[in-house]
A = this chain, B = another copy of it.
Amino acid sequence: MVMDIEAFRKAGYQAIDRICDYYYSLEQKPVASQVHPGYLRELLPAAAPEEGEDFQAIADDYQKLIVPGLTHWQHPNFYAYFPTACTFEGMLGDLYATSATNPGFNWACSPACTELEAVVMDWAAQLFGLAGHFLNSSEIGGGVIQTTASDSALVAIVAARARYTAAHPDVRLEDLVIYTTTQTHSLGVKAALVLGLACRALEVSADDRFALRGAALRAALDADKARGKHPFVLVGTVGTTSSGAVDRLDEIGEVLKEHPDVWLHVDAAWAGVTLACPEYRAPAQLASINAHADSFCTNFHKWGLVNFDASTLWVRNRRHLTDALDVTPEFLRTKQGDAGTVIDYRNWHLSLGRRFRSLKVWFVLRSYGAAGFREHIRKGIALNAHFAALVRAAPPFALVTEPSFALSVFRLAPPLPGVADGEREAALDALNRAYYARLAARPDVLLTQTVLNGTFCIRFAVGAARTTQDHVERAWGAIQEEARAALAEWEAARADGA
């Protein structure tokens, strides 16, 4: 039953048609999949078939068995986590890339893959206003596409550790410390687990809008160094997951001038794409990124219109990557690599093989153009501003912190008559958890929760390409409806003396 070229043409046309149908019908689907755990194992045989099956049966099973098990991240009423990009241009990039698959580990594997990546990373660097030293054309720093921000951070931390231990060969690995904040994405803790190193999450405050300040960093560095510890990398964030907080990279950069062997990795996985718009370069701290960051990461595959995965990482000095990661056995040697005239991207990341990810970035940047890319970012921010205004105008809704770019974090904060002051926060927490459970059960909208310094709250993250103001207003309707129900339930329970 193996597919030949003409059978592929037929199945390929059908796939394209069915993807079109998917997008025409997307808005009618529940946002989150409604299946129960284990649903698919019940429907599939226990083992692969002995004889090959007709592809039409397989394609039909995709529609029948898989699509109902998908949560639709491209649904216009998806406001959970952060968006995951999915554009038609991105799909076509993935399709062309897979059609002539190669493992891409050196230039010779397929020169176009290395070369296009080097060029589009320079395009992206300029789109975001990154300084010249981050460009591949500088031949000093450079950019590389990783799978995810976790991967980018891990690579940066490995390079930071190699740089630090080369300068301090007598330091024990046990004494190295990775700095994050309590608001840093789990990628910080994960990197520490992977590397077997200590991690210290610096405290931040609601008064500082959950941003790391220079003074807190200085105090931590001084205290840790005094007790013989060696902080060697700080993961700063532009746009944290819980609240969109932006660490004060200006202050951090000043402090790190006193500690030049501490590497500054800036994780802007979500919000980094706002740098495409001149008006967001100050709030997203571009000047400090350019002045102070050893490495900078943003994910095109979140808000940046390129299909997952496409995490872009730039470094100030590419030698820090290759010094840490270069492995070139005989079977990987090439004339061009030996001559040093080409980038061998395998030495810029963890794996050996790599997909041709730059193709989809190229397709998207050309089809949208810089202007279209900025328009998409501005639309998300405007929709979020609209949502935040609705929240502000409608007590007992309350923003827990200031909206950040395209993210608002809110909760219900009614007066709760009869609840003692000392019990108010616990009662609000219980109310909001019950409220969120109601909201999460709805098929027509999807939001996710978080906890900010102990306060349970709900995140509203805009950015799916198809979301309009009308969708935001319908989502707001659902949010209000469940709030009324949750408040009524709470009051009824209270009347019952519960």
Contact = CB atoms under 8 A, between A and B. Distances in A.
Interface in A14-71: 15-17, 19-20, 22-24, 32-33, 35, 37-41, 44, 46-53, 55, 57-59, 62, 65-71
Interface residues of A, number: 152
Interface in A76-125: 81, 84-92, 94-96, 98-103, 107-113, 115-116, 118-119, 122-124
A401 interface: no
Interface string A6-17: 111101110111
A393 to B, nearest CB: 27
Given A108-B71, A325-B190, A449-B330, A369 B48 contact: yes
Main secondary structure of the interface of A (DSSP, over half): helix
B50 A151 contact: no
Nearest to A47: B126
B368 A2 contact: yes
Contacts of A444: none
A165 interface: yes
B50 A307 contact: no
A435 to B, nearest CB: 15
A86 B101 contact: yes
B8 A110 contact: no
Nearest to A343: B37
A290 interface: no
A216 interface: no
A101 B74 contact: yes
A62 B151 CA distance: 28
A189 B369 CA distance: 42
A193 interface: yes
A48 B363 CA distance: 10
A128 to B, nearest CB: 11
A62 B96 contact: yes
Nearest to A40: B115
Contacts of A40: 111-112, 115-116, 119
Interface string A316-335: 00000000110111111101
Query: How many subunits of this chain does the assembly comprise?
Result: 2
Given A8-B19, A74-B101, A351-B151, A195 B193 contact: no
A193 B109 contact: no
Given A101-B74, A112-B66, A158-B194, A48 B11 contact: no
Interface stretch (A222-230, A352-360, A383-391, A479-487): A352-360
A126 B47 CA distance: 7
A351 B94 contact: no
Contacts of A98: 86, 90-91, 94-95, 307-308
Contacts of A66: 96, 112, 116, 359
B353 A309 contact: yes
B53 A331 contact: no
A40 B9 CA distance: 30
A294 to B, nearest CB: 18
A307 B358 CA distance: 17
Contacts of A8: 16, 19-20, 23, 88, 91-92
Nearest to A72: B100
A308 B101 contact: yes
A447 to B, nearest CB: 11
Contact of A37 (B51, B57, B107): B107
A325 B193 contact: yes
Given A101-B84, A370-B50, A33 B186 contact: no
Nearest to A452: B330
A23 B37 CA distance: 41
A147 interface: yes
A420 interface: no
Contact of A88 (B3, B119, B309): B3
Contacts of A53: 366-367, 369
A241 interface: yes
Nearest to A7: B88
B371 A190 contact: no
Contacts of A423: none
A448 interface: yes
A154 interface: yes
A102 B67 CA distance: 12
Q: Which 6 A-B pairs have the closest CB atoms?
A: A69-B112, A12-B16, A40-B115, A52-B369, A8-B88, A94-B98
16 contacts: A9-B16, A9-B20, A11-B88, A12-B15, A12-B95, A15-B99, A37-B336, A38-B115, A40-B112, A47-B370, A49-B370, A58-B367, A81-B103, A94-B94, A173-B173, A195-B195
